[in-house]
Structure 1
Amino acid sequence: MTGPVSFADSLGLAGLRGATLTEVDAAASLQHRVDRKYLVLLLTARWFVAALAPTHHVLDLGGRRTTEYHSMYFDTPGLSAWRAHAQGRRRRWKVRTRLYAEDRLCRAEVKTKDGRGATVKHAYTIQAEEYGRLGTRAAAFVDDVFRSDGVPVDTASLSPAAEIRCVRAALADLDGGSRVTLDGRLSCHRGHAAAALRHDLVLVETKGGPRPAAADRLLIKLGARPISLSKYLIGQALLIPGLPDHDVRRIARNCFHTLVCTEPPVVLW
């Protein structure tokens, strides 16, 4: 009897040339970038990957071509970060700890938007055991980024707000300096509440310069359209009753479903 098909097999990642993490980071680390997001059917994602094979490499980690991501997001008691995104403010921020599960690598990350709408990401490596909290070193890092970027928040007011889990494949155009990620089996968790993206859908993100790259043009050709979607934004909208209505409601209704969550959360709120 065969087991469930892996996300890597579903996408046909075996058909791409592999690249090391060093190669991908050297060519397309893109800490300052423009992100474009698309929700596509799994079959469309497979066609997309096959079409990129001549120009893109897939991140290969010792033969493994996907990574399980756990991301714990932090917010103020009044959900200042969530509300800034929901209201579409040009200057906004996110704070998270991210665990690369198979490799036990962990980072504290701060993402901000500059005045032109580009995403700026700052990262600081921490111990895997620190996932889900902001220890002394991580808090100092976040506060430094907030001060330098003019964010009127300090880490003393932040606490864990939601966790996002997914399986990710990363593709890079090593010559063109752009990157594509494909997230599947995506779920949102808050306490014992959970919701998940439909298994036949994939969240595709292109990360490049101000002009759409070849990957964006290909997605448009395949019938996809860019959407404004924050995994943290939609997760909170799904799991916290009574939040103000906003544009992600339609996506939430059509593309996500609630789960019965038996696994205890990493951090209890």
Structure 2
Amino acid sequence: MTLASSLAAGLSLAELRGATLAEVDAAAALQHRVDRKYLVPLDRARRLIAALADSHHVLDLGGRRTTSYLSTYFDTERLGAWRAHVQGRRRRWKVRTRLYVEDGLCRVEVKTKDGRGATVKHALKVPTADYGELTTQAADFVDEVLEQAGIPITAKELSASAEVRYVRAALADLDHGSRVTLDGTLSCHCDDRTAALDPGHVLIETKGGAQPAPADRLLLGMGVRSVSLSKYIVGQSLLTPGLPDNDVRRLARAHFTTEAHPAPLTERIPAA
């Protein structure tokens, strides 16, 4: 069983109604949104999915209900993106290339926070061979987005700093435009070290407007509280020597394990 099929089975995704990518994009493609994140045991994640079954559909891609993601993050030599997040600066940013493995799709993505605290994401489709790099086209795109957001960083100051890998399932309320994503088999890789989320947990993100969505209210009723958690920030906090201690690292230590060797190539490129 592949990592993707294992997550789909663990979350009982086969019991949900499916929706096509076009349907999900039409109803819930929120590029300007508020994200709330939760670290949730698998049994509570299954309860959440069952409770959302009447209102939400699961993204179904020709019978496949999960997607394997590879994301290479870019940062400055002094980890400016990491520090902006940990220090709670109003103007935060992330730059990454993302590969949707089974679909053979690659994008350059730039995420920023606007003055109201909402996440704004910009994306540029690029050839799959460009994954993990900022080509001239990608660098021009990054520079334009960061400049418009008032962030004084340019692509020439950035280099690849970590890779994050996970498998994702996506749910959408087609009537009201909110989304829920569930990420499992999550790991971060930096040089020869790996930090991995406990396989008995998933990272859930709700993506919607300023008011809590039904998924947020259900999780609250289960006793689950939201956390301020970024996959990239967690990875750097746990794997990069010399970084100052912080709340992210203390939270991550309860749910992540670290190893001092790289993941095998078969884990890096999941089977289609």
In 1, Cα distance between equivalents of 2:62 and 2:2: 22
SS in 1 for 2:175: coil
TM-score, normalising length: structure 1 = 0.95
RMSD value, Cα:
1.5
**1:261 aligns to what?**
262
SS in 2 for 1:35: strand
Task: Label 1:29 to 1:3 Cα distance change in 2 as closer, same or farther (>3 A).
Answer: closer
Task: Label 1:242 to 1:3 Cα distance change in 2 as closer, same or farther (>3 A).
Answer: closer
Does 2:30 correspond to 1:33?
Answer: no
SS in 2 for 1:254: coil
Shift of 1:262: 4.7
Count of aligned pairs between the two proteins: 265
Shift of 1:82: 0.4
SS in 2 for 1:6: helix
**2:130 aligns to what?**
130
Does 2:48 correspond to 1:75?
Answer: no
In 1, Cα distance between equivalents of 2:164 and 2:2: 25
Task: Label 1:222 to 1:263 Cα distance change in 2 as closer, same or farther (>3 A).
Answer: same
Task: Label 1:131 to 1:3 Cα distance change in 2 as closer, same or farther (>3 A).
Answer: closer
User: Which residue identity does 1:192 align to in structure 2?
Assistant: D
**1:152 aligns to what?**
152
Shift of 1:3: 8.3
Shift of 1:215: 0.8
Can you give the 5+ residue segments of structure 2 that lack an aligned partner in the other structure?
A: none
User: Which residue identity does 2:129 align to in structure 1?
Assistant: E
In 2, Cα distance between equivalents of 1:242 and 1:145: 31
In 1, Cα distance between equivalents of 2:229 and 2:2: 32
SS in 2 for 1:50: helix
Shift of 1:59: 0.4
SS in 2 for 1:218: helix
Shift of 1:245: 1.1
**1:56 aligns to what?**
56
In 2, Cα distance between equivalents of 1:60 and 1:133: 29
Identity of aligned residues (%): 65
Can you give the 5+ residue segments of structure 1 that lack an aligned partner in the other structure?
A: none
In 2, Cα distance between equivalents of 1:106 and 1:191: 22
**1:90 aligns to what?**
90
**2:250 aligns to what?**
250
User: Which residue identity does 2:44 align to in structure 1?
Assistant: T
User: Which residue identity does 1:84 align to in structure 2?
Assistant: A
TM-score, normalising length: structure 2 = 0.94
In 2, Cα distance between equivalents of 1:62 and 1:203: 24
1:120-179 deviation line (CA, Å, top 9, x unaligned): 000000011100010111111111101111110000000001110000000000001000
In 1, Cα distance between equivalents of 2:221 and 2:110: 33
**2:14 aligns to what?**
14
Task: Label 1:53 to 1:248 Cα distance change in 2 as closer, same or farther (>3 A).
Answer: same
Shift of 1:188: 0.3
